[in-house]
Structure 1
Amino acid sequence: MTAMAPTRTESDLSFLLDHTSHVLRTRMAAGLGEIGLTARMHCVLVHALEQERTQIQLAELGDMDKTTMVATVDALEKAGYAERRPSSTDRRARIIAVTAAGTEIAERSQEIVDGVHRDALDSLPDDEREVLVRALNRLATEHLAVPAEGPHAARRARERAK
Structure 2
Amino acid sequence: MNADQVEAVLARPIAQELLTGPHLVRFAYTGLDGAPRVVPIGFLWNGTQVDIWTVPGSAKVRALAADPRVALTIDTAGMPPRVLLLRGTAELTTIEGIPDGYVEAAPKAVPADQLEQWEAGVRALYDSMVQIRVTPTWATLHDFETTLPRAVQDLLDAKAAAQA
State the TM-score, normalized to the length of structure 1. Answer: 0.27
Relative to total residues, which structure has the larger strand share, 1 or 2? 2
Structure with higher Rg: it is 1
Greater relative contact order, per chain length (Cα 8 Å cut-off, separation 6+): 2
State the TM-score, normalized to the length of structure 2. Answer: 0.27
